[in-house]
Structure 1
Amino acid sequence: MVRTALPGDRDADVVIVGAGFTGLWTAYYLAKADPGLRVVVVEAETAGFGASGRNGGWCSALFPASGRKLAALAGREGAVGMLRGMEGAVDEVGLVAAAEGIECDFHKGGTVVLARSKAQVERARGEVAESREWGTGVEFLGADEVAGKVNATKVLGATFTPHCAVIHPGKLVRGLAAAVERLGVTIYQGTRVTRIERGRAVTDRGVVRADVVVRATEGFTPGLVNERRTVAPVYSLVVATEPLSAATWERIGLADRPTFSDHRHLIIYGQRTADGRLVFGGRGAPYHFGSRVRPEYDNEPRVFGKLQATLRELFDLEDVQFTHAWGGALGVPRDWCASVGLRDGVAWAGGYVGDGVSTTNLAGRTLTDLILNRDTQLTRLPWVDHRSRRWEPEPFRWLGINAGLRAMTLADAEERLTGRDSRIARLMAPLLGH
């Protein structure tokens, strides 16, 4: 959809920087709560241009920081409240999509995470034990039970959680932008914000003055003045197959469209789309010096090739053709703990580490309560007003992040050689929010 750029200086009650899921959910709930508010969203590109429009389509209850880490921040009750809030956010996305007539292929089929080695089985059973501690409903499936959901190679078992849905991210973000505009919110595109200050957002086309300024820029945050070390933009890449035949789907399964992954250390993620494709993504692309985010970084043929090879091996898909490949930056805070808050007229949300489709919904509702000065269960969750420490300056940031990405690849290789849980991964765990 064509939207105009900011025509010059403007006044508003709330200005939101970024028209991705965080910004749009915040605008949506603000407009629903107080139709008289003058809410303006300012976007450098187009609505959903970033991770919101080009992710792998997992709407999950995953939160980047573990229950134990959340409990260290706010006690057991706070951690449980956060995890329950994430589970509710999955359902809330589906409810809003239905209420607003957003055809985004939402289907809640849960998540199957395969265990394909003895070390992975041990991790899977450990995840189930941890789930019992927090009541998150993760269960262990034997190989025969897994086959009832998905047929993959070398499967010894799996974990399953019902708290995940699949979506088409582009359809959801475009539909949400339209819903926001129907509620009276103005979205300006092609307008780059360079600085956020108390009471104003400074853009290349004028200044928007407002009582509250919301930073909703996630992986693009380092492009703002004084935000270079707030989050690290790390790239995740995705490939998609052609629509598969009925016979192929009969063999693979995924009939209830659960999202799928396995218990390796280097993250992978996949789904069966509504039009019969496999969409499959993962990490492995490098972090770029100086937290740079550029369009050419979306294209990493080496990583695309590895993703294709991994998916072929996972489902024995030798003859399948791949038709699409894309990527983008996600935001990683230094302590791997997402946060949301409001201080001195400047609000923020982000640091989702790739788990943002549902987390942004929770963020939007929480920001709404904070902006409207409501004391609610949401505003008392442990991520509210949490401040992650800043990333190290370069070149230490570049060296550390890329060493961490490399370490996860080495950890998987170590397990293939030894058949035991990786020592490398154990050493890295404290750095990854665990």
Structure 2
Amino acid sequence: MNDVKKVVLAFSGGLDTSVILKWLQTTYQCEVVTFTADLGQGEELEPARSKAQLMGVRQIFIDDLREEFVRDFVFPMMRANALYEGLYLLGTSIARPLIAKRQIEIAREVGADAVSHGATGKGNDQVRFELGYYALNPDIKIIAPWREWDLTSREALIAFAEAHQIPIPRDKRGESPFSTDANILHTSSEGKVLEDPWEEVPDYVYSRTVNPEDAPDTPEYITLDFERGDAVALNGEGHSPATLLAKLNDLGRAHGIGRLDLVENRFVGMKSRGMYETPGGTILHIAHRGIESITLDRGAAHLKDELMPRYAELIYNGFWFAPEREMLQAAIDHSQAKVTGTVRLKLYKGQASVVGRKSPHSLYSPRIVTFEDDAGAYDQRDAKGFIRLNALRLRLLGQRDA
């Protein structure tokens, strides 16, 4: 690694990545190119540019990736109804492959021979970033400072920053009671006050949703239109993917929808406790299952549900660019050909409930399912043979074991 000439750093402008930037410059004596991704995290990104310029960076990339993120990563995942361990909507996991992809693209553009990230050696993100890097450039050099340096505490980071004249805002000097990661899909919080899984999440940790107990006492009804499995319109008005998700976030925030307190199994082997807020994504997930309920055949729907845990695990573990994820995506996307129509939802006190669904491709037949006279659409006598054939092996077992 001593021959590294230029490295592309995933850079937020915060304490950690600012220290990493200077550490790379001093340790590797290399040129550092910074890349800051706008994934809808809701933060002002220009300070990252100013910080990079102050530290002598000549090539600075700040890219608005919100539409690409939702269109090419979030929506394909939503088509799968993906939930890791049955609960987590994968808001952090799905952002990492896009960041890795853009880092590798920038490395090619500027002729860099290495990339770097600020993920620690205990978490999943180091795996997600680096699997993405290697998938897109097998020969890229990777620098993961948290696995190399001896700066093992926040105090050590601050001391390093002060020694190298790295400005630290006064409000950033105190130790945060928890760490967060945010994008347009979700906000995750973990560490410190959240490390005891017996203790309830303090209310001040929540930033994306009102307390459901304080949400409006009157429910709000909305409609979502889908085309081939993707949401395209809210209340009859068409929007781009990122704009639509942002509007759903506003609705979810107001009604306290999308909170999750989870103890999960990290890919690296440990359990961790985190709090996730996914307001718009939760509404979208519930609505998508609602439109699938009338447009997907039972066999296809049940097979999708069998594939989903594997698909979700691949994303969680960082295998977005792996062939098995792409194979599953092809099957999932094929299933969405007729998943078109409208879902009506009721938003109330932390819940999003499907209360109506319709589609030009609906498989729901009122004539067949009715309890009234079906005019011969369904011959109930056929059920006798159906039951007897399905019971044959059970009858044979019963006769043998009597």
User: Larger Rg: 1 or 2?
Assistant: 2
The TM-score with structure 1 as length reference comes to 0.24
The TM-score with structure 2 as length reference comes to 0.25
Name the structure with the higher helix share.
2
| Larger RCO, structure (CA 8 Å, separation 6 or more) | 1
